[in-house]
Amino acid sequence: MLIVQKYGGTSVGSTERIKAIAERVARIRREGNDVVVVVSAMAGETDKLITFASEISPAPPEREMDLLLSSGERISAALTAIALNELGIKAKSFTGRQVGIVTDTAHTRAKIERITATQVKKAISEGYVPVIAGFQGTTETAEVTTLGRGGSDLTAVAVAAALGADLCEIYTDVEGVFTTDPGIVPEARKLEKISYEEMLELASLGAKVLQTRSVEFAMKYNVPLVGGKVKFYR
Ligand code: ADP
Ligand code: ASP
Ligand code: MG
């Protein structure tokens, strides 16, 4: 199987957690699967970078914000690849540019136009686990862009579609999509199935468990979400 696993900010929140992820990826890899990992920035990192910029300027240029924010995911990707190599698993980290994620020019909220994934496919065929920095791409002219808050979900769904993955697993701090935010409403029920329309509505009402854009993308390219190819784990 080809499995894309996306780890959110909490899941890569410390070096201990990154080592734990590496153990899990290593196990699945040793079972004979091809694994592609997509990571978010460590929890709080993106907000911290935004705060740094705001301490310097009330209106930092969006181009600079994108280069700044894309670095959070790069840190997680490189650390995760280091952790995997430490366990004897061949792994390589990739930036959005190296994945060939081409976006429009709308800095800080760019839309993905296409994904080539040439180097990622080559790495898989050579036995590497590609570890992709989420949330980023580049424009046609190599300007770094980010995909809007929560954008690593979009990277995961889009990469899974581009590679024709068998499964896309989303690791986050809740174990699925619930009727409402389980962090606020303890009686929230976990959904076994959800339509694109319902998921879009939840996302656009602020349920950040899946970024709205990632749901739109999934709908457009018919990537089955909850109850389908995209599964959630805690
Ligand atoms: P990650 O950093 O892994 O991307 P997020 O914080 O972006 O995680 O998304 C997970 C959070 O989404 C959960 O902690 C939960 O509080 C919140 N959430 C809001 N609405 C929902 C919902 N309907 N189902 C599941 N989680 C939800
Ligand atoms: N790190 C980015 C954010 O905090 C993207 C993501 O986590 O998906 O919005
Ligand atoms: Mg998120």
Tens of pLDDT, residues 133-149: 999 999 999 999 999 99
pLDDT at 228 over 90: no
Ligand 3 centroid to Cα of residue 21, in Å, is: 17
Point out which residues pair with 6 in neighbouring strands: 38, 170
pLDDT at 229 over 80: no
Q: Which atom of ligand 1 is nearest to the CA of 177?
A: 24
pTM for the full model? 0.96
pLDDT at 151 over 90: yes
pLDDT at 224 over 80: no
Contact (CB, 8 A) for 32 and 26 = no
Segment 189-214 shows an average pLDDT of 91
180 lines ligand 1 (CB under 6 A): yes
Question: Can you give the pLDDT at residue 140?
Answer: 98
Contact (CB, 8 A) for 95 and 136 = yes
Tens of pLDDT, residues 72-89: 999 999 999 999 999 999
72 lines ligand 1 (CB under 6 A): no
Q: Which atom of ligand 1 is nearest to the CA of 170?
A: 3
Rounded Cα gap, residues 13 and 11, in angstroms = 6
Choose one of 149, 157, 209 to mutate for the ligand 2 pocket test, by most ligand atoms within 8 angstroms of C-beta.
149
DSSP state of 152: H
Question: Can you give the pLDDT at residue 142?
Answer: 97
Segment 171-179 shows an average pLDDT of 91
Identify the nearest ligand to the CA of 40 by its number. 2
φ, ψ (nearest 5 deg) of residue 88 = 85, 15
Question: Can you give the pLDDT at residue 230?
Answer: 83
pLDDT at 227 over 80: no
Q: Which atom of ligand 2 is nearest to the CA of 40?
A: 7
Ligand 1 centroid to Cα of residue 141, in Å, is: 34
* Domains of the chain listed by start with CATH number: 2-233 (3.40.1160.10)
Looking at every residue in the chain, the average pLDDT score rounds to 95
Point out which residues pair with 4 in neighbouring strands: 36, 168
Q: Which atom of ligand 2 is nearest to the CA of 147?
A: 5
pLDDT category, 234, cuts 50, 70, 90?
Answer: confident
Q: 3-state DSSP call for residue 181?
A: coil
